[in-house]
Amino acid sequence: MSLYQLVYYSRNAIAGDASVFEAEVDAILAASRRNNEAAGITGALLFNAGVFAQVLEGPLAAVEATFERIQQDERHGDVSLLALEPIAQRSFSNWAMGFVGHSAENAQRFAAIGLTRGFDPARLGGHKMHAILRDLTLEEEAAAA
Amino acid sequence: MSPQSLHAPEASPPPDAILNALPHPVIVISDDGEVIYANGAAQVALGGWIAGLPFAEIFPGSDESFERLIARGSALTLASKTHARYRALAGPPSAYGRVLSLFPDESATPAAIADTDELTGLLKRNGLNDGIERALVAEDGGAGRVAIHCIDLDRFKVVNDTLGHGVGDVLLARVAERIRSACRKGDCVARIGGDEFVVVQTGIASPEDAERLAARLVDLIGRTYVLSGHTVNIGASVGVAVAEAGNGPRDMLRNGDLALYEAKRAGRGRFRTFETGMDAALKYRRELEIDLRRALALKQFAVHYQPFVDLRDDRVIGFEALIRWDHPVRGRVPPMDFIPLAEETGLIAKIGEWVLRTACATAATWPEPMTVAVNISPVQFKSDTLVETVVSALAHSGLSPQRLEIEITEGALLEDTVNVLKTLHALQALGVKISMDDFGTGYSSLSYLQKFPFDKIKIDRSFVQGSDEDSEAILKAIASLGLSLGMAITAEGVETPEQLARIRDEQCTHVQGYLTGRPMPADGIHPFLSE
Ligand SMILES: Cc1cc2nc3c(=O)[nH]c(=O)nc-3n(C[C@H](O)[C@H](O)[C@H](O)COP(=O)(O)O)c2cc1C
């Protein structure tokens, strides 16, 4: 079964104050935990107040089904697909999610999510597309502020 | 009651009302095989505003032209786009064409009219009509509480053509899922044609509720799809109709279709809500279109010519060809009113070619080396026959290429720039001159001037006629730009001696306007020149 990797970023459309943002991030985390492992999906989801950026990898059918669900999600919009390609092997051994941004407040608020999942954005630098994604995420946070 | 009173004119309803009250579809097909009339039932059954469409598009099932079919007898069996079958009875030939009455042929379509669509699991047209009916009843007539959304996919055909029907079918199923996910559980969703969907929204409290769903549908359907490893992008146009008192399914579908048509006209990928007046506007446009289609054959167009003057010696060196449409009933229709429609419908190709040929033939009778300038629409640039047409027009008229000037607007360079530039170079290689028209009004990107060595730039009249400092500065800038790029500069719309004096100061090389000569018919040119 061939493996595929899909990379996108999107605009955060969660309206409301910090607590709403936190609750929605928790909900996304919960859904992802519930679904990804079972579907054989690994990857990473980076987020801040401005954007989401995600790498999904796994069997094509699972990637497509997961992406289709995510596409229908009203919590974000303007989804730009950056890559969809077959890969020889996974870049991520599990699924992770973490806050990437300069906002100290959000960094603290979401620290636990990254930690519990062993998330280290710096590790993303190993892959060109992932490095681009990380930099993009940082720029967009600034633009949204 | 006396027998006469039955026939008193006040007692008979207008024929249009009778036709629209008929329970079965009635259409009129012109001798060219086009639908020129559809009554209310026909619009509902056959997909909305079908007037203006070719017969073959409405009934794609038959391989033969309408003419051939009808030649075999006046009773036909026809299958519509949605596979609904009809027995059709044709009236005798008339000046308008033929009137066709259509009767649903239920006997022949047991499976085809089943209630759900196999591919998507959505309702089909019959189920939709029932669904709307039920929603209206449940909502107490429905006024202001029920809305329908007519959805049409943009670029679906491209997906089908490039990735195949298999992927196309999966895409339709995906679209159906997305539509359903945006709706409430009980709302009915139908697929009524290849890529046409309808949503019946109930329980709305204000028009904004309907708009919110329409916006959501446009957004959701327009998001990228991943299908079997392909990335697929399509869009959706949506027409919304909120029920008004007394509306039935037919009215709602009609209104939704009208709004959909407006959404597409406004550029697709958006929604429009039905408003009273849309039908009148569409009717006007349809009628204009029908007239426009005939105008060439009926010789209602004429070309007039407006002189332009070389400022070095104040002599007339050529004329711009301008189209005129004199309609027997409408009177003179301004180009502004019909050129956009001609472009939208593609009729501009034929009309533009006629203008080009006429102008070349006329110019060939003028003293050498007087030139003629002809406007070419961006749409004409998209066809790959433009160069051929120019070559042929020159050959037929015997006009030397140096005496023809092609005028384009910036719009022509906006899309598909590479191909347009190729065409421009090919034309220039023939010896034809190329000028940039209306400069200063559109995007006025200086990069266009750099991309192609235009022979001439025509500065829009607004800068010539404006007497403020800004216009003056722009005029000056464009003129000196032209000077340094080696392009001639024409100032358009010069009406007063003061404007002319100013133009001279700014080093424009040519003028055109009422002051130096109004547009005149071809036979006015020789007298004008000998004055
Ligand atoms: C930016 C973003 C990323 C998401 N990533 C995932 C994901 O990786 N896996 C997943 O199952 N759901 C993800 N979701 C949530 C889905 O959109 C959807 O809400 C969820 O899959 C529904 O799951 P459930 O049917 O198990 O409740 C994401 C949502 C957003 C807004």
For chain B, what are the domain ranges?
3-110, 125-275, 284-530
Domain B284-530 = CATH 3.20.20.450:
yes
Residue B118 pLDDT: 84
B186 compared with B313, residue with greater pLDDT: B313
Residue in B369, B444, B442 with CA at minimum distance from that of residue B405: B369
Class of domain A3-144: alpha beta
pTM exceeds 0.80, yes or no? no
Q: And the tokens for B244? A: 């008004």
B419: how many CB neighbours lie within 10 A of its CB?
A: 12
Helix (H) or strand (E) holding A41: none
Q: How far is CA B230 from CA A44, A53, A66, B174, in A?
A: 22, 20, 15, 14
Question: What confidence tens digit (pLDDT) does each residue in B67-86 have?
Answer: 788 877 777 888 877 667 88
Averaged pLDDT of chain B = 88
Question: What does the alpha-carbon distance between residue B146 and residue B128 come to, in Å, rounded to a whole number?
Answer: 14
Q: And the tokens for B221? A: 């359907």
- Cβ B219–A77 below 8 Å, yes or no? yes
| Dist. CA A28 → ligand 1 center (Å) | 5
- Cβ B181–A72 below 8 Å, yes or no? yes
Lowest mean pLDDT among B46-60, B99-113, B150-164: B99-113
Question: What does the alpha-carbon distance between residue B35 and residue B28 come to, in Å, rounded to a whole number?
Answer: 6
**CB distance A137 to ligand 1 below 6 Å:** no
Residue B259 pLDDT: 96
Nearest-CB residue to A81 (from B174, B220, B231): B231
End-to-end CA distance of chain B: 75
Question: What confidence tens digit (pLDDT) does each residue in A10-33 have?
Answer: 999 998 888 999 899 999 989 998
Question: What does the alpha-carbon distance between residue A9 and residue A141 come to, in Å, rounded to a whole number?
Answer: 12
Pocket test for ligand 1, best of A28, A29, A41 (most atoms within 8 A of CB): A28
Question: What does the alpha-carbon distance between residue A81 and residue B160 come to, in Å, rounded to a whole number?
Answer: 21
Question: What confidence tens digit (pLDDT) does each residue in A107-135 have?
Answer: 777 776 664 455 555 556 557 667 777 77
- Interface predicted TM-score (ipTM): 0.82
Domain spanning B3-110: CATH superfamily: PAS domain (3.30.450.20)
Residue A113 pLDDT: 67
The answer to whether residue B516 scores a pLDDT higher than 50 is yes
Chosen CATH of B125-275 out of 3.40.366.30, 3.20.20.70, 3.30.70.270, 3.10.20.30: 3.30.70.270
**CB distance A32 to ligand 1 below 6 Å:** yes
- Cβ A64–B226 below 8 Å, yes or no? yes
How do the domains of chain A map onto residue ranges? 3-144
**CB distance A76 to ligand 1 below 6 Å:** yes
Helices assigned H by DSSP within B81-153: 125-138
Pocket test for ligand 1, best of A9, A51, A73 (most atoms within 8 A of CB): A73
| Dist. CA A75 → ligand 1 center (Å) | 10
Contacts of B64 by beta carbon, 8 Å cutoff, 6+ apart: none
Question: What does the alpha-carbon distance between residue B511 and residue A56 come to, in Å, rounded to a whole number?
Answer: 63
The answer to whether residue B52 scores a pLDDT higher than 80 is no
A vs B: CB pairs below 8 A:
31
Question: What confidence tens digit (pLDDT) does each residue in B276-332 have?
Answer: 999 888 888 889 999 999 998 899 999 999 999 999 999 999 999 999 999 999 999
**Residue B31 C-beta-side C-alpha neighbours within 13 Å:** 5
B1 compared with B418, residue with greater pLDDT: B418
Mean pLDDT, rounded, for B140-144: 86
